[in-house]
Structure 1
Amino acid sequence: MTDAGSNLAVPRRGDRDAWDALATVLRSGLTFHSCGCSGPGYRPRTRAEVRDRLAVARRQDIPVRDALARPDPWRAPGR
């Protein structure tokens, strides 16, 4: 059992791509908790988005969790 947070938007039952992306996000330790004002931040919604961010994590030697939370994986955080 995982406490994914109250801001989780559950994918449609048959959307395997979205479920795979969600599983990767949750395994990395990211959740969908927030203060209720701005949401949890960016989370990838497809396998392609996850794949891009995992590649950036390997190339830039950054934690997977940090790479998955980037809206634009090629841009450093805060830019």
Structure 2
Amino acid sequence: MPPAKHHFVCLPCRASFKQPGPGPYDRDRVCPRCARELIHVGQAFAAPRRRDDRAWRVLTVLLNAGVRFPMGCSDGPGYRPRTLGEVRERMAHARATGEPLAQALVREELPD
């Protein structure tokens, strides 16, 4: 069975590409549309529709914070916020508690 392909994303083009996983000798991958560097997001990623502005804004915040979508053993990447409201809540929690933003963004529930 061939190795699973990984997802790479170009945020300016709102495009997702499946390519063989990164190896030790790989160069940076570039978008075939705009020639900017692609972001490796993992194997358990599902790209939003290109016209879905809100979903791409949420995805941009997640990727810029360092959140990725690795494949888990049986349950996928775990919780990821889907709305700007969920992102704002988790960002406010991170500021208030000093928790790293990437860690706050993947929390399923915020403590009271």
Query: TM-score under structure 2 normalisation?
Result: 0.62
Q: Could you say which residue in structure 2 is the equivalent of 1:27?
A: 64
Q: For residues 18 and 4 of structure 1, what CA distance do their matches in structure 2 show?
A: 15
SS at match of 2:77: coil
Q: Could you say which residue in structure 2 is the equivalent of 1:6?
A: 43
Relative contact order: is structure 1 or structure 2 higher (C-alpha 8 Å, sep ≥ 6)?
1
In structure 2, the gaps of 5 or more residues are 1-37
Question: 1:31-58 deviations in whole A, cap 9, x for unaligned?
Answer: 1112352111111111111111000000
Structure 1 residue ranges, 4+ long, deviating more than 6 angstroms after superposition: none
Identical residues among aligned pairs (%): 41
**For 1:15, which of 41, 47, 52 is the aligned residue?**
52
Question: 1:3-60 deviations in whole A, cap 9, x for unaligned?
Answer: 1011111111111111000111111111111235211111111111111100000011
In structure 1, the gaps of 5 or more residues are none
Q: Could you say which residue in structure 2 is the equivalent of 1:75?
A: 111
Q: 30-39 vs 43-52, which deviates more?
A: 30-39
Q: For residues 35 and 66 of structure 1, what CA distance do their matches in structure 2 show?
A: 17
Query: TM-score under structure 1 normalisation?
Result: 0.86
CA contact (8 A) 1:57 1:67 kept: yes
Q: For residues 17 and 58 of structure 1, what CA distance do their matches in structure 2 show?
A: 22
**For 1:57, which of 69, 94, 97 is the aligned residue?**
94
**Structure with the higher fraction of residues in strand conformation:** 2
